[in-house]
Amino acid sequence: MHTEGAGAALRARLAERGTVQAMATHSPLSAVLAEEAGFEALWASGFELSALYGLPDASLITMSDHLDMLRAITGRVGIPVIADLDTGWGNAVNAAHVVAQYERAGAAAVVIEDKVFPKVSSLTPDGRQELLRVEEFQGKLQAALAARNDADLLVIARTEALIAGLGQAEAMRRAHAYEAAGADMLLVYSKSRSPAEIEAFVAGWDGGVPLAIVPTSYPELTLERICAWGKVGLVIWGNHAIRAAVDGMQTAFARILNEGGIAGVETAIAPVGEIFRLQGVESMKEIEDKFLK
């Protein structure tokens, strides 16, 4: 999606549908597949990109790595892309620089979390989960908001208070503070195996901006149930693209070794013609026929 209008397109989808589903992506190929499947938006996931590089999600992937991938993704799809900026790669100065770069690259929204840089993935067992002071994160959000040229670019504040074990009251206090700083939406995250923690937060939310959730740890939570709450504008399916890819490759690789060849696996994987289609080979051939003289 081109930079101009990306934020407006996402806002229009939110206004029209009430709740938008975003599928995680780590590459242009996964982005195209998610769009073809019917998802309304994409989540340019730091976790998935880190996994693609075979690295922990611990601020090891550089901003340039992530930004280059976002450019590649937005250049191949026509649905809004929400950029996972982790902590914004530093303080308020860094966040302002980063947001301007991502806006130019075609992001429809950016998500910044209130953890200390460098961060550790929220789902890491016994991971270090250190949060910024509320006032410092408010300043980071305000710097991000001031850096955007298009007022339609959504700046989404993500609080990790529940991840850090600080409880509902602290999560709510931070959410209200971030709304007061100007956030367009609030993402609240939990690694509880039950949706009860998130459900309690949503029930208690009395702010004026919609919520975003990532139901990774509690898969029994359905879209129907989420929509019934009436407060969640964005549902992010946060790491399923990379997990599906890993499972598919592990299965195919093991079968080839176990069977001593590729004959058996051929009918279980995508045909080469499907890869050609996704690559746009037909369009390439049309250009060749027209212009190669």
**Are 287 and 144 within one domain?**
no
Q: Is 255 exposed, middle or buried (0-12, 13-18, 19+ CB in 10 A)?
A: middle
Cis peptide before 118 (omega within 30 of 0): yes
Please give the angle made by the CA atoms of 269, 39 and 276, to the nearest 5 degrees: 35
- Is residue 235 domain-shared with residue 263, that is, in the same domain? no
Domain-terminating residue out of 215, 239, 263: 239
Q: Are residues 170 and 285 in the same domain?
A: no
Same domain for 260 and 221, yes or no, is: no
Residues 203 and 274 in one domain: no
Residue 169's CATH number: 3.20.20.60
Residue 125 counted as domain residue: yes
CA nearest 1: which of 120, 208, 153, 164? 153
Please count the structural domains in the chain: 2
Residues 120 and 250 in one domain: no
Residues of the chain with pLDDT under 70: 1-4, 123-125, 127
Rounded Cα–Cα distance for residues 79 and 38 (Å): 10
177 & 44 share domain: yes
Question: Is 273 inside a domain boundary?
Answer: yes
The verdict on residue 37 lying in a domain is: yes
Query: φ, ψ for residue 188 (rounded to 5)?
Result: -115, 135
Smallest CA-to-CA distance from 214 within 242, 179, 186 is with 186
Question: CB of 1 within 8 A of CB of 78?
Answer: yes
Structure token pair of residue 167: 């409880």
pLDDT of residue 127: 64
Can you tell me the distance from the alpha carbon of 145 to that of 151, in angstroms, rounded to the nearest whole number? 8
DSSP state of 92: H
Q: Quick check: 6 and 81 in contact, CB under 8 A?
A: yes
Residue 1 lies in a domain: no
Predicted confidence at residue 191, as pLDDT, reads 87
pLDDT 10s digits, 42-59: 999 999 999 999 999 999
The tokens for 258 are 């176990």
Sign, Cα dihedral of 109, 118, 240, 106:
positive
Please report whether residue 221 resides in a domain.
yes
| Residues 6+ away with beta carbon under 8 Å from 132 | 114, 115, 116, 140
Together in a domain, 205 and 284? no
pTM of the model: 0.94
The answer to whether residue 59 sits within a structural domain is yes
Domain that holds residue 139: 6-239
Q: How far apart are CA 151 and CA 142, in angstroms?
A: 13
Residue 210 lies in a domain: yes
**196 and 282 in a common domain:** no
Cite the active site residues.
57
Task: Please report the DSSP string for 3-44 in residue order.
Answer: STTHHHHHHHHHHHHSSEEEEEESSHHHHHHHHHHT-SEEEE
Compute the distance between CA of residue 52 and CA of residue 227 in angstroms, rounded to an integer: 32
Does residue 134 sit in the same domain as residue 173? yes
Say whether both 153 and 178 belong to one domain.
Answer: yes
The tens digit of pLDDT for each residue in 103-133 reads 999 999 999 999 998 887 776 667 677 999 9
At which of 198, 215, 239 does a domain end?
239
57 assigned to some structural domain: yes
195 vs 76: CA distance, rounded Å:
34
Q: 239, 256, 283: which is the final residue of a domain?
A: 239
Q: Tell me which amino acid residue 217 is.
A: S
Let me know whether 134 and 193 are in one domain.
yes
pLDDT of residue 120: 77
